[in-house]
Amino acid sequence: MIPPPGKRIREKQDGEGNDMIERETIRREIPNCLTDTGNLGLPGLRKGKVRDSYDMGDRLLIVTTDRQSAFDRVLAAVPFKGQVLNTVSAWWFENTRHIVPNHVISIPHPNATLARKVEIFPVEFIVRGYLTGSTDTSAWTLYSKGERNICGNALPDGMRKNQKFHRPIITPTTKSDAHDESITPHGIVETGLMSREDWDRASDIAFRLFRHGTEVAAENGLILVDTKYEMGKDREGNIVLADEIHTPDSSRYWLSEGYEQRFRQGLDPDNIDKEFLRLWFRAHCDPYNDPVLPDAPEELVVELSSRYIRLFEMITGREFKPLTGNLQESLREAVGRIV
């Protein structure tokens, strides 16, 4: 169970059915962002770009912070982001159990997941439904430079940015703390990263998850553009879904209304993910090579938080009720109850 949340940050607009985000509340919580969890007093801390994990024997405590990453770097801290990622993942994990088992044991805190250990495949399963992206390794960037075979997927000439693929493709990458590298399914098997049987099973699961995610998104006015999955094996040899699923960090979402018209006009779709923050950094620096990056403007941080919350509510149909104030203290209390 997700614990009872704290103070509401949404109110109904008079005479309208849509919710209005109280941006002042988001702005006030910027100093309270959870960016570091090193004071939990637990062993086996491993810090990722966004998540901190603690080794608890046969279990892992995974804490999703408010750190915002892109270009393999941390760009900012975003209020409520960690809570959105963790709770929307919990929702998706629960709603995909009919496709694949997952690692979740419980959700002791809005920012934390207690999970069983699995042996993670050293591969990320990236499924794409559209030809798009802005990073150096994105499908559109590669395609626009003339590449027509992307991770073993032969693409036809004449495609346009943001065009839907005839059917989704999978573009796997090797997992790395520094920079993930694209690889083909043949390369994965040839180098021994996965067996052919495991690759076939896991890639089939990835396509089934994406198909389900696409259907749920469409029912809620969204397009699930692309996403990544991480999987591994439990002690019995079963493939298990881990990490996160269909979050605005691991996925790209567009608003379905207006997509066709904007595509015909050569305009980018209305997005509801972190792509606009990526574009801001690309316009103001070299995010891959500059040793120091500029601070993200406060309004962009508030806007990103607002988008994360909106996406949570559109997907789950639930009102987002986050915890506010000292998240480290509430996290320590929650951890104390499970250690």
278 pLDDT exceeds 70? yes
Q: How far, in Å, CA of 43 to CA of 325, rounded?
A: 26
Provide mean pLDDT across the span 316-335. Answer: 91
28 pLDDT exceeds 80? yes
DSSP one-letter string for 231-263: EEE-TTS-EEEES--S-TTTEEEEESTTHHHHH
pLDDT tens digits for range 108-132: 999 999 999 999 999 999 999 999 9
Strands 222-233 and 251-255: antiparallel
Helices 275-284 & 298-316 angle (0-180, nearest 10): 160
- What is the reported pLDDT for 135? 77
Q: How far, in Å, CA of 21 to CA of 308, rounded?
A: 11
Alpha helices (runs of H) in the chain, residue ranges in sequence order = 23-28, 81-94, 139-144, 185-190, 196-219, 259-264, 275-284, 298-316, 327-336
- Residue 32 is given by DSSP the state G
Provide mean pLDDT across the span 275-283. Answer: 85
State how far Cα 285 lies from the chain centre: 24
Rounded to the nearest integer, the mean pLDDT of the chain is 90
Position 71 confidence tier, pLDDT thresholds 50, 70, 90: confident
5 pLDDT exceeds 70? no
**Domain coordinates of the chain in residue numbers?**
10-336
21 pLDDT exceeds 70? no
CATH of 10-336, one of 3.30.470.20, 3.40.630.30, 1.10.3720.10, 3.40.50.2300: 3.30.470.20
pLDDT tens digits for range 206-251: 999 999 999 999 999 999 999 999 999 999 999 999 999 999 889 9
Strands 173-174 and 163-170: unpaired
Q: Counting beta carbons within 10 angstroms of the beta carbon of residue 4, is it exposed (0 to 12), middle (13 to 18) or buried (19 or more)?
A: exposed
Q: How far, in Å, CA of 76 to CA of 274, rounded?
A: 11
- pTM: predicted TM-score of the whole model, two decimal places: 0.88
pLDDT tens digits for range 143-202: 999 999 999 999 999 999 999 999 999 999 998 665 678 999 999 999 999 999 999 999
Position 9 confidence tier, pLDDT thresholds 50, 70, 90: very low
Residue in the block written with tokens 């702005």? 27
Position 20 confidence tier, pLDDT thresholds 50, 70, 90: very low
Q: How far, in Å, CA of 66 to CA of 51, rounded?
A: 9
- What is the reported pLDDT for 15? 35
270 pLDDT exceeds 70? yes
- Residue 297 is given by DSSP the state P
Position 23 confidence tier, pLDDT thresholds 50, 70, 90: confident
Going by C-alpha positions, the residue among 50, 46, 201 that lies closest to residue 121 is: 201
